[in-house]
Each structure stands twice: as structure tokens, then as C-alpha cells.
Amino acid sequence: MANLSVNIGSTTFKNPIFVASGTFGYGTENPELVDISKLGAIVTKSITLNPREGNPPPRIVETSSGMINSIGLANIGVEKYISNMLPVYEEMDTPIIMNIAGSSMTEYMDIMKKVEAVSSSIVGYEINISCPNVKEGGMEFGVDCAMTEKLTGKLRKLTDRLLIMKLSPNVTDIAAIATSSENGGANAVSAINTVVGMSINHRSRFSDIYTTFGGLSGPAIKPVGLACVHKVYNAVNIPIIGIGGIVNSTDVIEYFLAGSCSVQVGTANFRNPGITEIILNELNNYLDEKGIDSISSLIGSVKTHD
Amino acid sequence: MNIENVTISSNEEIAMNIWRMSMSAPKIAAAYIGPGQFINILPNDNWEHPIRRPMSIASVKGDRVEIIYKIFGNMTEKLSRKNVGNTMNILGPLGNVFTDWDKKEVEPILIGGGVGLAPILNVYESCRNPIMIIGARTASEHFMKHDPKNNIYLATDDGSMGIAGNVLKAMDEVNVNKNSIIYACGPEPMLHALQSHANDKNIRAQLSVESYMGCGVGLCQGCVINRKNGHVQKHSYHEKYSLVCLDGPVYESSEVTFG
């Protein structure tokens, strides 16, 4: 069997298949449908300083080969995350990466300080600077190089755990934001968050989503994700976690070729919460059939025509 | 809850654009707990349509699970073209159930409208002589007979069969007393109107609500409905919204607000 383990910073993950933030709840929800011990890591849903109810419905709609969501960062807030979730994670074998969202530099820092102040087994943080659906979603950071570098630097000082900046595709130059993250001291970047999208019902003439715009995800955005990962790969030396429309093992391989060192499965969990296990089995078979000893050997090895 | 590849055993149009499908689903049938529950269907295994479609269970007999669906879009149209022997991937059973309809003192009034027939027929099959009201736009959408003697009232918007008007008009024809409980499933405006009606008459109503769902298992947090009482549920964490997939789809009418 091929070696599936991957390294990010000083952390080794047993395999590169993670579940993406906002698509797997707090990681404790579906014991009947998925064996979470098989996962490389769980990225938990975005946590804000205060609990958030989220956006009014309708929050989701299917589009061609994808879906648009505007959940609005509904979450229990950091205090309850610490009291209710962290103890549960102690009992789990799966590495937990906590996703954080904030509306100001102070808010991101306050959340991290609170979590760092208690003992826990979480392996790191993914910083959401790219939620398109709420004013408080951090987008003002994710589109600005100087802000990204400053935020990354401030958070870097607060933790020795993994610090991963989650990048938005809704920017002019994603490679520049990735470089700012690297300069600020991030261990890795994850790309991409959802693509701003809109869906309209021609009969009712209403937007299908309450907030008019939402985040497009699913196979429809895989080409955008691959392009972003490859641009970032050409710009930085830190690992990239590829996200966007991954539903099977060949998608994983393509993301590795583009430059990813691991991937996150998102929307596909909605269709089958156990899909990551299927992808992992497929991936093992694929690597064995091709005689590839280590998945890491594929990182960035796409052949281009220039 | 299970994910199961089921085999279709029948699929036929029972009224204009209204279809009944039966499938062999032993695992889901074994886990089923009662009328109100739903399954989440994946009509095609390609990714052109990534999301499952929730459908109420119309009956469970042995290992057979039955749904009744109305063609209103691309996906339901594809469902109607499925043949006997075809397989489909199903997640279920999901959600909660209608309650108290089996209590001796309760006099159930079952009301279905539009696509909301399945769970109502499911309760009907298990009930002793309930009142049932089914609403449709026109006669061709009905597959039963208007039969007030046996407490089956059909209503049509265009008056082409049974009572002319909507299900509320039909409510005028039935006796309501303190033991009556309304059990309803249908479009939101109908449920909203029944909620007001139940409130006016001071009777209980249990409403099975429709919602667009991303997953059906609480992961996407997409299928929210407004709570009336701010009661915090185990699964959806929040006071203002309830997740229909986990807390519902059946709610006491006093629990939720529409619109």
C-alpha cells in the first residue's frame, strides 16, 4: 500500500483526506454513516466570538453540478466550543483543525487566545478570511495583502499549533494573498473557499437565496480550485490544502498534481457523509495500480505545455 | 439511518403528474419508525445534480418503501422515467413522526395538499376511520373519490371535483371538537393557513413542513425554519432557527412561524 501520510508544519497526518469546514458540523454528528477515525483530519465549522444564528432561509439551492449556500456562519460561539466540543475531541482519534472567523483583528485574536488558554488536543487553526456570506466573515482581510499579513502575524504570535489561512477565489490575485500569509508566518494555506454565485428562479423572479448572493461549491468549481492551487503553488513554499469540488480519487490526484499536499472534501459530504472513506479506498487502489509509493511525490508535478 | 442501494419494484402515474413509486429497501424499512419520516433520494449517480431530494414516506410494508411524488421539476421528471428493476441510492429513514394520532380519544383530521400527500396517506392507512381532506388544483390531479360518507373530502381549486375551493373550505364541512388534531402536509401557504385555523379553533395541529435540504443529516445547516418558542434543541443548537431535517419535518403548529 502506498504511503498516504502528509506533513504540514511539524504535524504528520495519516492521510491527506480532510473534511472541509462547514460541511461536517462539529465532527461529532454522524457516527452511523462515517468512521471518522479514517479521516486525515476534520476541519470544524467556523467559530465566531459570539454565537450566531445564521442567515434567514432560503439558505441553499442546487445549481448545475454544484450548490450555492448562504448559511451565515451559524455556530455556537467560542465559549460553547470550548466547553462542549473540545472535551469530545479529546476522546477522538481524528486530528481536529478549528476554523475561526472574525469581523476584526481583535476578534480573531480573542477567539484564539480563549482556545489557547485551555488544554486541548486540536492540532491547529484554519483562519477563515474568505466567507462571502456575512459582513463579519473576514472577507475584508482575505482581499487585502497587508491586512492578511498583519492578521497572520498577530495570530502566529498566539500559537505554536498549525496556522492555516483559508483563501478566497474572489480576489484579483490569490497568489499575492498566499504570499502575504506565508510572510505572516502561516504554516499552510487552504484554497479555495466558495465562489460568489447567484441563482434566480425565472418564474417567481426571486433570487433563490435570501442574501441574494451565496457561495458556490461542488464539482462546478473544481477548475477554479485547481487554477488557484496551481497559482499559489508557483508563488509560495508552504504547503497548500486543495479544496473545491472533490468527489473522487482522481479529483484528489489532480489537486496534488496542481500543487496540493492534502485536500478537503466539502459538498460531497452532503450527498454521502461517508464519501471520504470511499475516496480513500479508491485512492489507495489508484496509487497501487500506478505503482506510486508515496502520494507526496505527486505534489505540483503537473505537466504544462510551456 | 442508512445509505442503501434500493431496487425499484413499481413506478406509475396515479393521477395527472402524480406518481407512486415502490422500492425494495430492507435496511431503511427495518429502521423506519412511523408516518412523517422521509428518505433522501439520489435519482442519478452522476454529479450534475449533487444534492439528494427529500421525499416523505407514503408507506412501509415488509421491505417495501413507497413514496408519492408530483412532477414539478427536472429531478422529479427523471424519477418518473425510472423503470422497475432500476436501482437508486437512498439515505434514510430520516426525521421525526406524527404523534398521538393512534390515541383512542384523538379524532384525527388528515389534510394533504399539492405534493404533501405521502405522509398523510401514510397516517390514513394506520388510523381508525379518520377524516381526510385532500386538496388539488383540478379533478385530474386526484386519484381518490370524493366520499363524504366515509369521511374522505376532496377539494379542487377550480371546482371540477368535490368541494370547490382549498382545504380550508373543506374544513367547513367537517366537525371539529376538542379531541380533533389536524395532521397536515403541503405547501407553506396551506400550512400557514391551517396554523391560523387551528389557533382560531383552539385545536392542535401537527404540520409536516417542506424544506430545501442540502444533506438531510444536520451537516449543512441549510434547511432552517423559524422557531416560535425559542426552545433549544439538541441538534441544531440555535434558538431562532430549527433544522427541519433533524428536529422536523413534523412540528406542532405552535412551535414554528412561517413567512
Mean confidence (pLDDT) of chain B: 92
Task: Count Cα neighbours of A97 within 13 Å in the Cβ-side half-sphere.
Answer: 32
In a domain, residue A1? The reply is no
Nearest to B215 among A53, A74, A270 (CB): A270
Residue carrying the nine cell digits 458540523: A25
Q: Residue A287, SS3?
A: helix
A198 grid coordinates: 447567484
Query: Among B51, B70, B94, which residue terminates a domain?
Result: B94
Nearest to B47 among A22, A23, A247 (CB): A247
Q: Compute the distance between CA of residue B18 and CA of residue B134 in angstroms, rounded to an integer.
A: 13
Q: Are residues B87 and B116 in the same domain?
A: no
Nearest to A54 among B52, B217, B221 (CB): B221
Q: Is A269 on the interface with B (CB under 8 A)?
A: yes
Q: Is B78 on the interface with A (CB under 8 A)?
A: no
Across A23-32, A36-45, A73-82, least confident range = A23-32
In a domain, residue A156? The reply is yes
Task: Count Cα neighbours of A55 within 13 Å in the Cβ-side half-sphere.
Answer: 24
Q: Is A262 on the interface with B (CB under 8 A)?
A: no
A29 grid coordinates: 454528528
Q: Is A274 on the interface with B (CB under 8 A)?
A: yes
The CATH number of residue B60's host domain is 2.40.30.10
pLDDT one-digit tens code per residue, B243-255: 999 999 999 999 9
Q: Are residues B117 and B243 in the same domain?
A: yes
Give chain A's domain count. Answer: 1
The pLDDT of residue B228 is 84
B115: confidence class by pLDDT, cuts 50, 70, 90: confident
Mean pLDDT of A117-128: 96
The pLDDT of residue B234 is 53
Mean pLDDT of A147-168: 97
Chain B residue nearest residue A32, CA to CA: B1
The pLDDT of residue A298 is 97
Q: Are residues B130 and B233 in the same domain?
A: yes
Q: What percent of chain A has pLDDT over 90?
A: 91
List of chain A residues whose C-beta atoms are within 8 Å of the C-beta of residue B211: 57
- Distance of alpha carbon A286 from its chain centroid, rounded? 24
Chain B residue nearest residue A81, CA to CA: B237
Q: Is B219 on the interface with A (CB under 8 A)?
A: yes
List of chain A residues whose C-beta atoms are within 8 Å of the C-beta of residue B224: 54, 56-57, 59
Checking if the pLDDT of A186 tops 90, the result is: yes
Look at residues A82, A64, A70 and name the one whose alpha carbon lies nearest to residue A26.
A82
Nearest to B212 among A29, A61, A66 (CB): A61
Q: A145 catalytic, yes or no?
A: no
Catalytic residue chosen out of the listed positions A131, A145, A228, A261: A131
In a domain, residue B101? The reply is no
List of chain A residues whose C-beta atoms are within 8 Å of the C-beta of residue B213: 60
What values do phi and psi take at B92, rounded to 5?
165, -175
Mean confidence (pLDDT) of chain A: 95
Across A20-34, A66-80, B49-63, least confident range = A20-34
In a domain, residue B188? The reply is yes
The pLDDT of residue B72 is 84
In a domain, residue A203? The reply is no
Q: Is B163 on the interface with A (CB under 8 A)?
A: no
The pLDDT of residue B229 is 66
The pLDDT of residue B195 is 97
Look at residues B62, B65, B40, B64 and name the one whose alpha carbon lies nearest to residue B53.
B40
In a domain, residue A108? The reply is yes
Q: Are residues B115 and B14 in the same domain?
A: no
In a domain, residue B111? The reply is yes
B158: confidence class by pLDDT, cuts 50, 70, 90: very high
In a domain, residue A303? The reply is no
Contact map slice: A 114-153 vs B, CB within 8 A: none
The CATH number of residue B126's host domain is 3.40.50.80
The pLDDT of residue B220 is 94
Give chain B's domain count. Answer: 2
Interface test with B, best of A62, A68, A246, A275 (most B CBs within 10 A): A62
Beta-carbon separation of B239 and A53 below 8 A: yes
Look at residues B255, B250, B217 and name the one whose alpha carbon lies nearest to residue B236.
B217
The pLDDT of residue B91 is 96
DSSP state of A171: S
Beta-carbon separation of A33 and B3 below 8 A: yes
DSSP state of B231: P
In a domain, residue A26? The reply is yes
The pLDDT of residue A137 is 64
pLDDT one-digit tens code per residue, A197-239: 999 999 999 999 999 999 999 999 999 999 999 999 999 999 9
Q: Is B88 on the interface with A (CB under 8 A)?
A: no
Helix, strand, coil share of chain B (percent; to 5): 20, 35, 45
Q: Compute the distance between CA of residue A197 and CA of residue B48 in angstroms, rounded to an integer.
A: 17
Q: Compute the distance between CA of residue A166 and CA of residue B199 in angstroms, rounded to an integer.
A: 49
The pLDDT of residue A136 is 64
Q: What percent of chain B has pLDDT over 70?
A: 96
Q: Is B222 on the interface with A (CB under 8 A)?
A: yes
pLDDT one-digit tens code per residue, A231-260: 999 999 999 999 999 999 999 999 999 999
B128: confidence class by pLDDT, cuts 50, 70, 90: confident
Whole-angstrom CA distances from B80 to A260, B61, B104, B118, B125 are 42, 22, 39, 16, 24
Residue type at position B150: N
Q: Compute the distance between CA of residue A137 and CA of residue B258 in angstroms, rounded to an integer.
A: 28
The pLDDT of residue B74 is 85
The pLDDT of residue A111 is 98
Residue carrying the nine cell digits 482556545: A115
The predicted complex's ipTM stands at 0.92
Q: Are residues B76 and B175 in the same domain?
A: no
Q: Are residues B115 and B47 in the same domain?
A: no
In a domain, residue A27? The reply is yes
The CATH number of residue A34's host domain is 3.20.20.70
Rounded CA Rg of chain B: 18
Chain A residue nearest residue B51, CA to CA: A271
The answer to whether A152 and A165 have CB atoms below 8 angstroms apart is yes
Interface test with A, best of B46, B237, B239 (most A CBs within 10 A): B237
B112 grid coordinates: 394533504
Q: How many residue pairs bridge chain A and chain B with CB atoms within 8 Å of each other? A: 104
Q: Are residues B113 and B219 in the same domain?
A: yes
Look at residues A115, A125, A119, A122 and name the one whose alpha carbon lies nearest to residue A92.
A122
Question: Could you tell me the residue range of the domain that residue B236 belongs to?
Answer: 107-257
Checking if the pLDDT of B236 tops 60, the result is: no
B193 grid coordinates: 393557513
Q: Are residues B165 and B62 in the same domain?
A: no
pLDDT one-digit tens code per residue, A270-299: 999 999 999 999 999 999 999 999 999 999
Q: What percent of chain B has pLDDT over 90?
A: 85
The model carries a pTM of 0.94
CA distance B184 to chain A (A): 22
Which has the higher per-residue pLDDT, A130 or A188? A188
Checking if the pLDDT of B233 tops 60, the result is: no
Q: Kindly report the CA angle at A282 between A276 and A284, in degrees rounded to 5?
A: 105
Mean pLDDT of A17-42: 91
In a domain, residue A259? The reply is yes
